[in-house]
Amino acid sequence: MYSLGVRREFIARHFLIGGDWGPENYPNSHQYILELVLEGNELDGHGYLVDIVDVEKHLDDVVGYYREQMLNDKPEFSGLNPSIEHFARILATTLNERIKAPNITGLKVVLWEHASAWAAYTVKSRKSQV
């Protein structure tokens, strides 16, 4: 199994809802670190699992959409507590829809909220779901 990872850092804002979360109930920002890991069993004719330039373009587009934004105001968070777990899932499913490499069998997002806390979400690619 091959794995390829790409990482981005960005700041986004949120406030938690539906409970007494102390300071997290009020607007605050986090320095997120998004680690994207793509997996597959085969390389293409060039010896690549996936074109990293294409992956970086999609990753930069997705991160750019959230950079310096209030997560609570984004439609994908409507009715959801903007927890790190929900955010990791939203990022993973969005990136899985955008990255179209035929030999990718898995995609995982690990989202760090700070140095000692992260959440992850894994998606099986379309190829492995066929």
Residue 100 pLDDT: 87
Average pLDDT, the chain: 94
Q: Phi-psi bin for 79: left (phi > 0), alpha (psi -120 to 50), beta?
A: left
Whether the predicted pLDDT of 30 surpasses 80: yes
Give bridge partners of residue 36 from the DSSP assignment: 6, 109
Q: Each residue of 104-115: pLDDT tens digit?
A: 999 999 999 999
CB 103 within 8 A of CB 44: yes
- Domain segments of the chain: what residues? 2-129
Q: The domain 2-129: what is its CATH number?
A: 3.30.479.10
